[in-house]
Amino acid sequence: MSRFALFFLNAFLFLTFASFEKSDAVVWMTNYDEAAKTAKDQNKPLVLFFTGSDWCVWCKKLESESLSTRDFEQAAASQFVFVKIDFPQKGSQPAGEATKNKELQKRFDVRGFPTIVILDPQGHKIGVTGYRPGGGKSYASHLMKMVEEYSSYKSKMSRLDQDDLSGAELKMLFKQARQLQQTSDIATIIEKGKTSDRKDFFLIEEYRQLAKEGKISSTEAASLKKQLLTEDPKNSHLTHYQIACIDFDALSDKLESGQCTPETAVEPLSSYLNRFADQDKENRWRIEMIISQVYLDKKEKEKALIHAKKAFESAPESMKEDIQSYIEEAK
């Protein structure tokens, strides 16, 4: 073989080897629409990496420790489509990209960085995660486990009418649906759960859903609330406590928008304490602290201190130091 032929053969083998070496490299796209189309065409989950590449310390750690490692590439490159949603403070971005990224941040309710959002090929949310230690292989396994759990969840939902699931199994499925924000599935599971041996749990969740939908003053909610409280008159299952918390959450939204006073907002909690404070010592101090915080947020310091001191009196020893510090700061 001539020297030139040998040279070209070696060059060819080198390039071929290099190409195999990089065939499993992660390609980070920056255009969400193109990435979503690619994920759909290839029938792969889409990984969205919300980052501040030139300022976010934990984003940089996630990249250097996991996302940019060879271990991560080898484990995950062929399993997902990747898109980076960047929010740089110094670097420039192509026209429209910054605006699009802000829209995506709002759409997926991203409140901190780094955030990883995984979507299925049809664009439905699989899950949300962030920084985790452990390296690239561990992080890839974490992402793939999220996809596996989502697939299992969807499989169970598809067989919901055929399978005879226990109340405990339905409760687990409900929690997955809530975590995945599957609103229609939540309603379906609640209806199924109301005929199970965990009827009490699902009736409370139905009441919670009505509150979230702004229907807490409706006839349906009032009837359901009456039923729940009647079936647990002595608060043996903490039904009164859960109802009080749901009512407080609904009124808190009105308080923030100026539609009610602090006294009105905390009334469900105060009423609960008036009836069950001696019985429910576990939650007594927590409720007093919540009431105190509501008043402190509204600059009603005297009322805040009254409830903080009540919380201190009923709190376990392990919490007294923290509550005392809160009282000192509130003065």
The residue among 122 and 18 whose pLDDT is bigger is 122
Question: Measured between alpha carbons, how far is residue 29 from residues 36, 68, 100, 248 in Å?
Answer: 10, 14, 14, 44
C-alpha span between 154 and 148 (Å, rounded): 10
Least confident interval from 37-51, 174-188, 206-220, 250-264: 174-188
Q: Cα dihedral sign for 15, 20, 22, 23? A: positive
Q: Where are the beta strands (DSSP E) in the chain?
A: 28-29, 46-51, 81-86, 115-119, 125-129
Gap between the Cα atoms of 180 and 171, Å rounded:
14
Residue 253 CA to its chain's centroid (Å):
19
Confidence of residue 181 (pLDDT cuts 50, 70, 90): confident
Q: How confident is the model at residue 179 (pLDDT cuts 50, 70, 90)?
A: confident
* Residue pair 127/144 in contact by the 8 Å Cβ criterion: no
15 — pLDDT class (breaks 50, 70, 90): very low
Residues 53-107 pLDDT 10s = 999 999 999 999 999 999 999 999 999 999 999 999 987 888 789 999 999 999 9
Helix (H, G, I), strand (E, B) or coil at 32: helix
Q: What is the DSSP letter of 164?
A: -
Query: How many helices (H) and strands (E) in the chain?
Result: 15, 5
Q: Are 121 and 79 in contact (CB under 8 A)?
A: no
Report the pLDDT value the prediction gives residue 93, as an integer from 0 to 100.
Answer: 83
Three-state SS for 109? coil
Please report the pLDDT score of residue 4 as a whole number.
46
Residue 208 confidence (pLDDT): 95
A 10 A CB-CB count for 96 gives 9
pLDDT given for residue 147 in this prediction: 96
Check residue 205 and give its pLDDT: 96
- How many CB atoms are located within 10 Å of the residue 9 CB? 11
Local structure of 149: helix, strand or coil: helix
Task: Report if pTM > 0.85.
Answer: no
Name the band, by pLDDT with cuts 50, 70 and 90, for residue 161. Answer: confident
Report pLDDT for 92.
80
Q: Which pLDDT does position 68 carry in this prediction?
A: 96
Q: Which domains does the chain have, with CATH numbers?
A: 3-139 (3.40.30.10), 153-330 (1.25.40)
Given this model, what pLDDT does residue 331 score?
Answer: 87
**How sure is the predictor about 144, in pLDDT bands with cuts at 50, 70 and 90?**
very high
**Angstrom distance (rounded) from CA 158 to CA 171:** 16
Instruction: Read off the pLDDT band of 14 (50, 70, 90).
Output: very low
Complete edge-to-edge strand list for the sheet that includes strand 115-119:
28-29, 81-86, 46-51, 115-119, 125-129
Q: pLDDT of 236-277, one tens digit each?
A: 999 999 999 999 999 998 999 999 999 999 999 999 999 999
Q: Which residues does 246 contact at the CB level (< 8 Å), separation at least 6?
A: 204, 207, 208, 211, 216
pLDDT tens for residues 271-322?
Answer: 999 999 999 999 999 999 999 999 999 999 999 999 999 999 999 999 999 9
- Kindly report which listed range (5-19, 65-79, 148-162, 169-183) carries the lowest average pLDDT score: 5-19
Say whether pLDDT at 329 is over 80.
Answer: yes
Distances (CA, A) of 13 to 24, 74, 239, 274: 18, 22, 72, 82
- For the chain, how are helix, strand and coil distributed in percent, rounded to 5? 65, 5, 30
pLDDT tens for residues 95-136?
789 999 999 999 999 999 999 999 999 999 999 999 999 999
Is residue 23 very low, low, confident or very high in pLDDT (cuts 50, 70, 90)? low
- Is the pLDDT score of 21 beyond 50? no
- Mean pLDDT for 8-26 is 51
CB 136 within 8 A of CB 69: yes
Query: Which residues, in sequence order, are CB contacts of 84 under 8 Å at separation 6+?
Result: 28, 29, 30, 49, 51, 53
